[in-house]
Amino acid sequence: MAEFNNFNTDFFQSSYSIDDQGQSYDYSAAGGPYQNRHTPQAGYFHPTGPQQPYTGQIYQPTPTFTPSSSQSVYSNSFEDEAPLLEVADGTIMNETDLAGPMVFCLAFGATLLLVGKIQFGYVYGISAIGCLGMYCLLNLMSMTGVSFGCVASVLGYCLLPMIVLSSFAVIFSLQGMLGIIIAAVIIGWCSLSASKIFISALAMEGQQLLVAYPCALLYGVFALISVF
């Protein structure tokens, strides 16, 4: 035994002794030979509380992020929205829609028919001449130019307030001071709406009055048909 202890003691220093081999272990007191596998060791985390069952679903993780603010990314306030007449750009001049203007002209003639005025030919004739005149005028005034279909589409959709005027003529007579005032308001509404769209889409800043004047003449003829 002494010779083994003196053999190359500088090679590996250890506190292990061969005499420890004779030491016996009491497995019954320790709980069996496999008890040490479940024995908590120092330096490891071992939960002591009851295990909570997983209540989520497969491929559907439980959301853990809670937004700090309930305010939506997009504003729902009407004050932050731009007016409809200020958001027009040059792209709307590339779209032609003649179905709506034709329906509005038909509705305008139908309301005139309710008061005994059969003016469908005048409505469509004046509309065609007015669109042709505005087409020539806008191509002379603008740098980009515009198609005839786009001019007819804008003027036709802005005819909607004139249908309201002809509907008033069914209820009461417009040949008076009140009728003149209502007709003037409707003419201004139609002409300003059409001119605003034209100058916004064709980049004609500072020329709204020049465009609104011929529009007012066109809608003024429709107003005369409604009043008289």
For the stretch 34-52, pLDDT in tens is 444 444 455 545 555 556 6
Q: Is the per-residue pLDDT at 211 higher than 80? A: yes
Question: Does residue 184 have a pLDDT over 90?
Answer: yes
- Is the pTM higher than 0.85? The answer reads no
Q: Which amino acid is at 126?
A: I
Do residues 87 and 141 lie in contact, with contact meaning Cβ atoms separated by under 8 Å?
Answer: no
Angular region, 12: left φ>0, alpha ψ -120 to 50, beta rest: beta
* Residue 72 pLDDT > 90: no
Lookup: tokens for 122 = 């005048």
Report, in angstroms and rounded to the nearest whole number, the Rg of the chain calculated over CA atoms.
44
Looking at per-residue confidence, does 135 or 89 come out higher?
135
User: Considering only 20-29, 128-137, 210-219, which range has the smallest mean pLDDT?
Assistant: 20-29
What six digits make up the tokens of 156?
């036709």
3-state DSSP helix/strand/coil % of the chain, to nearest 5: 60, 0, 40
C-alpha distances (whole Å) from 14 to each of 5, 9, 17, 26, 29 are 12, 9, 8, 25, 29
The mean per-residue pLDDT over the stretch 17-31 comes to 49
DSSP 109-161: HHHHHHTT---HHHHHHHHHHHHHHHHHHHHHH-SS---HHHHHHHHHHTTHH
Which tokens go with 80? 């932050």
* Mean pLDDT rounded to a whole number for the chain: 74
Q: Name which of 175, 182, 179 is nearest 161 in CA terms.
A: 182
Give the side-chain half-sphere CA count within 13 A for 83.
6
What pLDDT shows up at residue 15?
55
194: nearest Cα among 217, 172, 176: 217
Chain segment 109-160, per-residue pLDDT in tens:
999 999 888 889 999 999 999 999 999 999 999 888 888 999 999 999 999 9
Task: Write the DSSP assignment of 39-78 as a string of letters.
Answer: S--TTS----SPPPPP-SBTTBPPP----S----SS---G
Q: Look at residues 123, 80, 90, 115 and name the one whose alpha carbon lies nearest to residue 203.
A: 90
CB 199 within 8 A of CB 205: yes
Residue 175: pLDDT band by 50, 70, 90 thresholds? confident
Q: pLDDT at position 58, please?
A: 58
